Amino acid sequence: MVKALILTTTAGLSSMVGFILTYFKISKKQENNIILIALASSLVIMLYISIFDLIPYGFININYNIIITSILIISGVGIVKFTSHNDELNLYQIGIICMITLMLHNIPEGIITFMSNITNESIGIKMTISILIHNIPEGICIAIPIYFSTMNRFKSFIYTFIAAISEPLGGIIFYLLFKNYISYHIIYYLSIIVGGMMIELSINKLLNKCLKFENKRGLNIGLSIGLLIILLMSIFI
């Protein structure tokens, strides 16, 4: 159990890598470039995780029920729309919504990672590495908008840490309290809902924000970095 907790915690805290970027001394122009690249790469990763990971995982495990899956995706989209009435979000609002969405994503992800390491160490380690890699741009998506909108490094740390620590906490709480009582269907349903939330966040929030920047080269770099990370994940994991 201790090893499973260490691996799950490591995967979750990899999100804090994004916070490290706040220590780089940069000019205003470089600041805008970093924000744009971070948002663009994050939206690609989040879209990939939603479409090829979260939603298929839930869809397969609820016996390919297209009606329930569609309802859950629409519910996820609706949650993001309801919590962000204004489509023209500022950086701070984007950071907060990213934190909430990724925290909800990290809880079931932590449960899956923790239980995988408990039941099958080989699969568990592969799961840990995969999650560790994709958590890095997710952390950037929280830390960078919060820091550059407030210039408060402590806030950036706290909000990123809340999302990161939810992963091991989700795993250990589930194992200690609910493993004999809660149905795995809750995890499957939540995976689809969060997938819908991340699609809405990526396309209608992050992409819209990226398109407001004049530096299209930075947008292309960010999208390319996101695609490269996805490619590396596909090859090595």
Q: 152-177: per-residue pLDDT in tens?
A: 999 999 999 999 998 888 878 877 77
The answer to whether position 29 is within a domain reads: no
Residue 84 reports pLDDT greater than 70: no
- Residue 7: the pLDDT is 82
Range with lowest mean pLDDT among 5-14, 34-43, 120-129, 173-182 = 120-129
Asked if 188 and 73 touch (Cβ cutoff 8 Å), the reply is no
How far, in Å, CA of 93 to CA of 149, rounded?
9
Residue range(s) defining the domain that contains residue 51: 34-236
Q: For residue 20, is it within any domain?
A: no
pLDDT score of 128: 76
In a domain, 19, yes or no: no
Query: Is residue 211 pLDDT above 60, yes or no?
Result: yes
More confident residue, 217 or 80: 217
Tokens representing 61 are 């495990």
Dump pLDDT digits (tens) for 136-154.
777 888 888 898 888 899 9
Per-residue pLDDT at 77 exceeds 70? yes
Is residue 66 domain-resident? yes
Report yes or no on 11 lying in a domain: no
Q: Is residue 193 part of a domain?
A: yes
Q: 70 lies in a domain? A: yes
Asked, for residue 171, whether it belongs to a domain, the answer is: yes
Q: For residue 230, give the nearest of 51, 61, 32, 49 by alpha carbon.
A: 49
Report whether pLDDT(73) > 90: yes
By the 10 Å C-beta count (0-12 exposed, 13-18 middle, 19+ buried), 128 is classed as: buried
Tally the residues of the chain: 237
- Token digits of residue 223: 């999208």
Structural domains counted in the chain = 1
Is the pLDDT assigned to residue 64 strictly greater than 70?
yes
Summary mean pLDDT of the chain: 81
What are the CA-CA distances from residue 141 to residues 117, 132, 184 (Å)? 27, 15, 29
* pLDDT on residue 127: 65
How far is 103 from 176, CA to CA, in rounded Å?
Answer: 20
Rounded average pLDDT over 200-211: 83
- Supply the pLDDT for residue 212: 81
Name the percent of the chain lying above pLDDT 70.
86
Q: Which residues have a Cβ under 8 Å from the Cβ of 173 and sit 6 or more positions away?
A: none
